[in-house]
């Protein structure tokens, strides 16, 4: 007896068919996952039958024997209230900021007509989702909780009224790698305990193998492959599924053996400390980076891995000369870099940032963007000379020269990031600082960028400091790794060793999550 069933379901918005022919079935206690890149239609498929998107459905969607297709808004509201729970991707924006955790929980518990829960019940609800110190958390506002805590709160709210079906739209995509496994495990546990069905939307393919019973792979609004989760994970049949799986770095893949051989030490951080003053009269200063020692050799790629708030971006900025240094030093070829760097010193280390669109001036053209470092750092060049180097840089990042006259609005995410990389390379630096350079990109695009970085490293021998929260990603092309937790380096060493024998607790969590 199926709990939820879609038969040739489609989604139409403004007359356009964005999703076509989706069929799936969820039995109580089962988890069915929709996988695919962004734009594949998976969110629309999961949310539209319940009236939570801008579209309308065609075909049939049946929940516990009731057909959703014919219901009006009031009817759908009744269904949402009583039988379904929802978990969304960004808990910070999905939870009303001016209501406390207790208020959220109470509202959710009462939405199906239940009685007002007393304090002990609320504490028990938070406990059931693994939230520490639930009594204290009840009084907190969403922005006062950490990312993982917020998502647990959202899950607690979603199940508070005892729904038969839980729909989770990218529940862990916005979380750090080491938290993802925990949240997914929580969802699986809840599913087994309550017999709830789970419709999971995700592009985190690694976790689907362990947590989903069946997987449907979607591309361009249609299902290209469907089957048992483990079967698809191990041997995807369709070309798109294969590409998708290949694009997800996993530690099971073999480490590369063709990396550039590193040379002498190039950049060293010695005892690097960064403190931020509290703002206003009454907040205390924060130590974001605490006595960090880090060395990057010529031609070497070093990964700096940690969760959000661990201080990794702060270190990256300090090393690139873009952020403050409170104590300690950054050395270049053994010589200390001053607070105000010379143009030559600036030229040697160049940054690439996470958000490709925000890292390009929206009003400038691509050719001007890439030429900017040359204007200041190579004043010896004429505009002819600059144009030549810009062209060379575009070729290096495999971009068509025709893009040179566009503004960033006309570029895709991947193209924009290539432009950012071209800008970083044009003045011929010896080291790149890459701050989460692929995190904001679609997985398939990210794969291409990583391949590009690998190639650059091999052909140009550029040193790289790769800042990321994804250990598996870094393992693909980094020689060594340093693990950061709360501003301190807890472990450092060759990549292979770190993965095989993690010592620190944080490292072990990261390895387990990948």
Partner 1 sequence: MKRIALPAAIVALIALAALVLPMLLPWSHDAIDWDHVRAAPATAGHWLGTDELGRDRLARLAVATRITLAVALAAALVSMLVGVGWGMIAGWAGGRTDELMMRIVDALYALPFMFIVIVLMVVFGRSILLVFVGIGLVEWLTMARIVRGQVMTLRHRPFVLAAEASGAPVRVILARHILPNIAGVALAYLTLNLPGIIMIESFLSFLGLGVQEPLTSLGILVKEGADDMDVAPMGLQVPGGVMVTLLVCLTLVGERLRDRFA
Partner 2 sequence: MRALVLRRLLTAIPTLLLVLLASFALMRFAPGGPFDGERPLAPETRAALEAAYGLNLPMGEQFALFLQRTLTGDFGPSLVYRDFTVTQLIADSLPVSLTLGGLAILLALVLGLAAGMVAALRPGGWADETLMLVATIVTALPSFVTGPLLALIFGLWLGLLPVGGLGDGLLSAPQYWIMPVIALALPVAGAIAKLARAGLAAALAQEHIRTARARGLGTGAIIARHALRPALVPVVSYLGPAAAGLLTGAVVIETVFALPGLGRYFVQGALNRDYPLIMAVILLYAALIIAFNLIADLLYGWLDPRSRA
Catalog residues that contact partner 1 under the rule CB under 8 A.
317, 320-322, 343, 346-347, 349-351, 353-355, 358-363, 372-373, 375-377, 420, 423, 427
- Does residue 50 interact with partner 2 by CB under 8 A? yes
Binding-residue pattern over the window 1 to 40 for partner 2, x denoting contact by CB under 8 A: ----------------------------------------
Closer residue to partner 2, CB minimum distance, 158 or 433: 158
Say how far apart CA 221 and CA 44 lie, in whole Å: 9
Q: What are phi and psi of 268, to 5 degrees?
A: -130, 135
DSSP string, 154-220: HHHHHHTT--SEEEEESTTTTS-HHHHHHHHHHHHHHHHHHT-EEEEEES-HHHHHHH-SEEEEEET
Nearest approach, Cβ of residue 392 and partner 1 (Å): 17
Out of partner 2, partner 1, none, which partner does residue 86 contact, by CB within 5 to 8 A per kind? partner 2
SS3 484: strand
Out of partner 2, partner 1, none, which partner does residue 351 contact, by CB within 5 to 8 A per kind? partner 1
Nearest approach, Cβ of residue 507 and partner 2 (Å): 32
Nearest approach, Cβ of residue 435 and partner 1 (Å): 8
Out of partner 1, partner 2, none, which partner does residue 252 contact, by CB within 5 to 8 A per kind? none
Nearest approach, Cβ of residue 170 and partner 2 (Å): 13
* Contact (Cβ atoms closer than 8 angstroms) between residue 351 and residue 322: yes
SS3 299: coil
Q: Which of 161, 151, 183, 176 lies closest to 87 in space, CA to CA?
A: 151
Closer residue to partner 1, CB minimum distance, 262 or 351: 351
Collect all residues with Cβ–Cβ distance below 8 Å to 37 and sequence separation of at least 6. 203, 219, 244, 442, 443, 444
SS3 38: coil
Out of partner 1, partner 2, none, which partner does residue 82 contact, by CB within 5 to 8 A per kind? partner 2
Which residue of 95, 244, 482, 506 would you call a contact of partner 2, by CB under 8 A?
A: 95
Collect all residues with Cβ–Cβ distance below 8 Å to 110 and sequence separation of at least 6. 116, 117, 161
* Contact (Cβ atoms closer than 8 angstroms) between residue 41 and residue 221: yes
Which residue of 98, 252, 284, 363 would you call a contact of partner 2, by CB under 8 A?
A: 98
Out of partner 1, partner 2, none, which partner does residue 496 contact, by CB within 5 to 8 A per kind? none
Say how far apart CA 353 and CA 365 lie, in whole Å: 18
Out of partner 2, partner 1, none, which partner does residue 189 contact, by CB within 5 to 8 A per kind? none
* Contact (Cβ atoms closer than 8 angstroms) between residue 189 and residue 7: no
Out of partner 2, partner 1, none, which partner does residue 50 contact, by CB within 5 to 8 A per kind? partner 2
**Cβ burial, residue 131 (10 Å; 0-12/13-18/19+):** buried
Contacting positions for partner 2 (CB under 8 A): 50-52, 77-82, 84, 86, 88, 90, 93-99, 107-108, 111-112, 141, 143, 154, 157, 280-282
């Amino acid at each position: 007896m199926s709990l939820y069933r879609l038969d040739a379901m489609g989604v139409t918005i403004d007359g356009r068919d964005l999703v076509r022919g989706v069929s799936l079935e969820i039995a109580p206690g089962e988890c069915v996952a929709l996988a695919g890149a962004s734009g594949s239609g998976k969110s629309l498929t999961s949310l539209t039958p319940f009236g939570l998107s801008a579209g309308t459905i065609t075909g049939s969607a049946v929940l516990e024997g009731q057909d959703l297709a014919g219901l009006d808004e009031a009817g759908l509201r009744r269904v949402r209230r009583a039988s379904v729970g929802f978990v969304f991707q960004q808990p910070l924006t999905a939870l009303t900021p001016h209501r406390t955790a207790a208020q959220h929980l109470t509202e959710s518990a009462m939405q199906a007509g239940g009685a007002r829960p007393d304090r002990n019940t609320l504490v028990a609800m938070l406990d059931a989702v693994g939230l520490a110190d639930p009594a204290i958390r009840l009084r907190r506002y969403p922005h006062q909780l950490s990312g993982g805590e917020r998502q647990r709160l959202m899950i607690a709210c979603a199940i508070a009224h005892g729904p038969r079906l839980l729909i989770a739209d990218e529940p862990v995509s916005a979380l750090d790698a080491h938290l993802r496994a925990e949240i997914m495990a929580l969802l699986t546990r809840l599913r087994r305990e309550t017999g709830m069905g789970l419709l999971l939307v995700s592009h985190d393919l690694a976790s689907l193998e362990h947590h989903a019973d069946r997987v449907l792979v979607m591309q361009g609004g249609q299902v290209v492959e469907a089957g048992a989760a483990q079967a698809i994970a191990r041997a995807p049949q369709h070309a798109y599924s294969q590409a998708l799986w290949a694009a997800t770095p996993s530690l099971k893949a073999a480490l590369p053996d063709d990396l550039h051989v590193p040379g002498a030490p190039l950049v060293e951080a010695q005892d690097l400390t960064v403190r931020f003053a509290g703002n206003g009269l009454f907040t205390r200063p924060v130590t974001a980076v605490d006595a960090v020692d880090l060395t990057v050799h010529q031609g070497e790629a070093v990964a700096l891995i940690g969760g959000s708030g661990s201080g990794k971006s702060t270190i990256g900025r300090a090393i690139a000369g873009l952020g403050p240094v409170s104590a300690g030093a950054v050395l270049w070829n053994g010589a200390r870099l001053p607070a105000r760097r010379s143009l030559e010193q600036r030229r040697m280390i160049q940054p690439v940032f996470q958000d490709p669109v925000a890292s390009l001036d929206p009003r400038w053209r691509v050719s001007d963007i890439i030429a900017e470092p040359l204007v200041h750092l190579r004043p010896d060049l004429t505009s002819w000379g600059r144009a030549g180097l810009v062209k060379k840089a575009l070729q290096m990042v495999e971009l068509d020269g025709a893009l040179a006259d566009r503004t960033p609005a006309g570029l895709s995410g991947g193209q924009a990031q290539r432009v950012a990389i071209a800008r970083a390379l044009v003045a011929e630096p010896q080291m790149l600082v890459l701050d989460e350079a692929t995190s904001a990109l679609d997985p398939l695009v990210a794969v291409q960028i990583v391949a590009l970085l690998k190639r650059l490293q091999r052909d140009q021998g550029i040193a790289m400091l790769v800042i990321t929260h994804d250990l598996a990603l870094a393992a693909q092309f980094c020689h060594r790794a340093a693990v950061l937790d709360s501003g301190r380096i807890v472990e450092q060493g060759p990549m292979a060793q770190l993965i095989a024998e993690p010592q620190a607790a944080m490292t072990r969590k990261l390895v387990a999550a990948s």
